[in-house]
Chains A and B, each alone.
Chain A
Amino acid sequence: METTAEKKIILEVDHLKQYFKVKTDSLFKPKTFVKAVDDVSFQLFEGETLSIVGESGCGKSTTGRAILRLDEPTDGQIFFAGKNILELSKKEMRKLRGDLQVIFQDPFASLNPRQTVKQILDEAMAIQEVVAKPQRMDRMLELLRYVGLPPESLDRYPHEFSGGQRQRIGIARALAVNPKLIICDEAVSALDVSIQAQILNLLKELQKQFQLTFLFISHDLSVVRHISDRVMVMYLGKVVEIAEKKTLFDSPLHPYTQALLSSIPTLDPTLKRERIILKGDVPSPMNPPSGCRFHTRCPFAMEKCKTEEPALKELDRNHFVSCHIAENLPQ
């Protein structure tokens, strides 16, 4: 593993905030906001896979959407290949979308049911003008080969394929425009394990072949462990821990990460682990707890945690944690 200094940053998210206004019934009540993403900063290096994990409502998908500018962020900056994409015009952004692709959880919902695979791929290439018209057919067949679909798939419609095959079409569409970065938003979550394994292998293979960078958004920690180089854990709109995969899974420092890891069922029935079971539900992002947002469920919470918000600090090399307790542990 190289050191961070030598690596090229492809994407930098800087103090990103994404608040959504909540409609209130009263004219007099103050407006309330869901702070879906609240001051999130991280960097993504070229060729790596960074995963964002967390439970529903932690802001992982919202972060992905902000990077794609599917929602306009409330505050903060996002640099892609050195350019602040939040300042780009619609036209410039459209051009940039060629470098920045996305694969969604539900391939069926993201593919137009009235288009054949050929039309889907052709349209993707036409928008970005990456391949001249006469060469498109060759390119399409090449793409299908990459994702492991037979050439005759071209004339078929999405509903004629199984879930795993549809996800392959989604990947082919993303690849069609020669992207640099692909955001995979729960890309394998809806698939059966045997199919999930096929798609994960495919993604890894394509990454090597085309030097792709992945931002992999998932709630499944086993999948994340398999595919990532680095992992970022989010809780209620905040980053609680970022580290290299091995560090994070072997020696997590944040109590939330520890609980998250210990709640994954193991495949060894003889192994009876001491499990950390968190009490209660995730609080509402409309009214997040003061201080450290995790303090209401944290087994180690101190008085300080209720009032003072911990900052994200580099406690070990490339290991960032935002926790008052972890900070004070002897290294």
Chain B
Amino acid sequence: MNEKNKPILEVKGLKTHFTTKRGVSKAVDGIDFTLHKGETLGIVGESGCGKSMTSLSILRLIPSPPGKIAGGSVLFKGKDLVTMPEGEMREIRGNEISMIFQEPMTSLNPVIPVGEQIAEAIRLHQKLGKKAAWEKSVEMLRLVGIPSPEKRAKQEPFQLSGGMRQRVMIAMALACTPEVLIADEPTTALDVTIQSQILELIKDLQTKIGMGVIMITHDLGVVAETCDKVAVMYAGNIVEYASTEQIFANPKHPYTQGLLDSLPKINEDVDELKTIEGSIPSPYNMPSGCRFASRCPYKEEMCTSHKPELIEQNDGVKVRCWKYTDEWTGTIKKEEVV
């Protein structure tokens, strides 16, 4: 238990901004979270909320220019990745922290055999010879459940199905037994039966290797199935941060509530789905108050004028909403919100 409570990745006040002709887009605007060993943290939100940019920022993979990490720190085993020299950073990428991406179709190099794409990471980080690295790469393909891996290793990505390609991505990411795996929408492009195979595989390998996993997804179902903790993002901020049980049983932030309500449920019938009216604010022109205020059913004057902080409640849930503060002046009482 003690071992599990050791934080391996601490993100503090991370800001990633994009400077374009239209102005500065604050894609990630002050994010804090902690990942412990062996734990799965979900980062969930809709398109444009900044969840993918958060994950790319950790490994400093944001396209630059126009992107830039504008502030904050990412502490990995005590060292700050944001200020680390590029050479040291390269030794961490694909070795101690690795990443899998959404589109297995486009994320593998189309003209290089998949075995080589795995082996090159092994050669680089584990200083193995060509032959040994190739054998290890075949071994990894076997581990992620690809049948006849010797044959498959020599094939190029187009000869593999979507599910198999995602397995290759996982094999590649795990080849150097990383301590942190960042999975950016790993199953979004896959069919449901393949999705459950892949999620099961990640969970399985996680217990074997003991790594921490950051699961970036828009799918609350995936979160419920795989995560221990969840950070809900909206317009570049975390609006709610809690254990998975708490988020689903008792969502606090009006956005989290709206998100859960708007999902059609597989086990209940409703005639009309609840929706969140309006749309997300432009990243170039963020409101000065609460960013969800314009769509929030509980909105009060203070919400549009002052931005709430992410504040920890008595039950350990962190929420960024005025309703859960003592300053709340709204007619709906703090207790009535849920």
Task: Mark A residues whose CB is within 8 Å of B.
Answer: 55-56, 162, 164, 192-198, 200-201, 204, 219, 221-223, 225-227, 249, 259-261, 263-270, 275, 277-278, 280-282
Q: In the bound complex, do residue B273 and residue A226 qualify as a contact, i.e. CB atoms below 8 Å apart?
A: yes
Chain A residues near B66: list those with CB within 8 A: none
Q: In the bound complex, do residue B192 and residue A266 qualify as a contact, i.e. CB atoms below 8 Å apart?
A: no
Chain B residues near A164: list those with CB within 8 A: 279
Q: In the bound complex, do residue A277 and residue B197 qualify as a contact, i.e. CB atoms below 8 Å apart?
A: yes
Q: How far is the CA of A248 from the CA of B264 in the complex (A)?
A: 17
Q: How far is the CA of A204 from the CA of B269 in the complex (A)?
A: 14
Task: Mark B residues whose CB is within 8 Å of A.
Answer: 46-47, 147, 161-164, 191-197, 199-200, 218-222, 224-225, 227, 244-245, 248-249, 258-260, 262-267, 269-276, 279
Given contacts A194-B259, A204-B272, A226-B273, contact A266 B194 (CB under 8 A): no
9 contacts between A and B (CB under 8 A): A55-B191, A201-B273, A221-B266, A222-B264, A226-B273, A265-B219, A266-B267, A269-B244, A281-B161
Contact of A275 among B196, B249, B260 (CB under 8 A): B196
Chain A residues near B164: list those with CB within 8 A: 281
Q: In the bound complex, do residue B259 and residue A277 qualify as a contact, i.e. CB atoms below 8 Å apart?
A: no
Contact of B258 among A194, A227, A260 (CB under 8 A): A194
Given contacts A192-B218, A267-B265, A269-B224, contact A278 B273 (CB under 8 A): no
Contact of A260 among B161, B192, B248 (CB under 8 A): B192
Q: In the bound complex, do residue B196 and residue A267 qualify as a contact, i.e. CB atoms below 8 Å apart?
A: no
The tally of CB-CB contacts under 8 A between chains A and B is 116
Q: In the bound complex, do residue B192 and residue A194 qualify as a contact, i.e. CB atoms below 8 Å apart?
A: no
Q: Give A281's nearest chain B residue, CB to CB.
A: B161
The 10 lowest CB-CB distance pairs between A and B, nearest first, are A265-B221, A226-B264, A197-B262, A55-B191, A192-B46, A197-B273, A263-B196, A194-B276, A265-B225, A222-B264
Chain B residues near A282: list those with CB within 8 A: 161, 191
CB of A124, distance to nearest CB on chain B (Å): 26
Q: In the bound complex, do residue A225 and residue B191 qualify as a contact, i.e. CB atoms below 8 Å apart?
A: no
Contact of B222 among A195, A222, A265 (CB under 8 A): A265
Q: Give B191's nearest chain A residue, CB to CB.
A: A55
Q: In the bound complex, do residue A264 and residue B191 qualify as a contact, i.e. CB atoms below 8 Å apart?
A: no
Q: How far is the CA of A195 from the CA of B276 in the complex (A)?
A: 8
Q: In the bound complex, do residue A193 and residue B221 qualify as a contact, i.e. CB atoms below 8 Å apart?
A: no
Q: In the bound complex, do residue B193 and residue A260 qualify as a contact, i.e. CB atoms below 8 Å apart?
A: yes
Chain B residues near A200: list those with CB within 8 A: 264, 273
Q: Give B278's nearest chain A residue, CB to CB.
A: A194
CB of A214, distance to nearest CB on chain B (Å): 15
Given contacts A265-B224, A267-B260, contact A222 B265 (CB under 8 A): yes
Contact of A278 among B46, B197, B221 (CB under 8 A): B197
Chain A residues near B272: list those with CB within 8 A: 201, 204
Chain B residues near A267: list those with CB within 8 A: 220-221, 224, 248, 260, 263, 265
Chain B residues near A194: list those with CB within 8 A: 46, 258-259, 262, 275-276
Q: How far is the CA of A55 from the CA of B266 in the complex (A)?
A: 17
Chain B residues near A56: list those with CB within 8 A: 162, 191
CB of A164, distance to nearest CB on chain B (Å): 8
Chain A residues near B199: list those with CB within 8 A: 265
Q: Give B194's nearest chain A residue, CB to CB.
A: A281
Contact of B264 among A225, A269, A277, A280 (CB under 8 A): A225
Q: Give B258's nearest chain A residue, CB to CB.
A: A194
Q: How far is the CA of A195 from the CA of B48 in the complex (A)?
A: 13
Q: How far is the CA of A264 from the CA of B266 in the complex (A)?
A: 8
CB of B233, distance to nearest CB on chain A (Å): 13
Given contacts A194-B275, A204-B272, A278-B197, contact A264 B192 (CB under 8 A): yes
Q: In the bound complex, do residue A259 and residue B193 qualify as a contact, i.e. CB atoms below 8 Å apart?
A: yes
Q: How far is the CA of A67 from the CA of B278 in the complex (A)?
A: 36
Q: In the bound complex, do residue B218 and residue A193 qualify as a contact, i.e. CB atoms below 8 Å apart?
A: yes
CB of A303, distance to nearest CB on chain B (Å): 23
Q: How far is the CA of A282 from the CA of B272 in the complex (A)?
A: 34
Q: In the bound complex, do residue B194 and residue A193 qualify as a contact, i.e. CB atoms below 8 Å apart?
A: no
Given contacts A204-B272, A267-B260, contact A249 B196 (CB under 8 A): no
Q: Give A284's nearest chain B residue, CB to CB.
A: B161
Q: In the bound complex, do residue A223 and residue B264 qualify as a contact, i.e. CB atoms below 8 Å apart?
A: yes
Q: In the bound complex, do residue B263 and residue A197 qualify as a contact, i.e. CB atoms below 8 Å apart?
A: yes
CB of B28, distance to nearest CB on chain A (Å): 18
Chain A residues near B218: list those with CB within 8 A: 192-193
Q: Give A226's nearest chain B residue, CB to CB.
A: B264
Q: In the bound complex, do residue B161 and residue A266 qualify as a contact, i.e. CB atoms below 8 Å apart?
A: no
Q: How far is the CA of A309 from the CA of B230 in the complex (A)?
A: 47
Q: How far is the CA of A219 from the CA of B194 in the complex (A)?
A: 12
Q: In the bound complex, do residue A221 and residue B192 qualify as a contact, i.e. CB atoms below 8 Å apart?
A: yes
Q: In the bound complex, do residue A55 and residue B263 qualify as a contact, i.e. CB atoms below 8 Å apart?
A: no
CB of A111, distance to nearest CB on chain B (Å): 19
Q: How far is the CA of A204 from the CA of B271 in the complex (A)?
A: 9
Q: In the bound complex, do residue B193 and residue A55 qualify as a contact, i.e. CB atoms below 8 Å apart?
A: yes
Q: Give B201's nearest chain A residue, CB to CB.
A: A277
Q: Give A283's nearest chain B residue, CB to CB.
A: B161
Q: In the bound complex, do residue B266 and residue A201 qualify as a contact, i.e. CB atoms below 8 Å apart?
A: no
Chain B residues near A225: list those with CB within 8 A: 264-266, 269
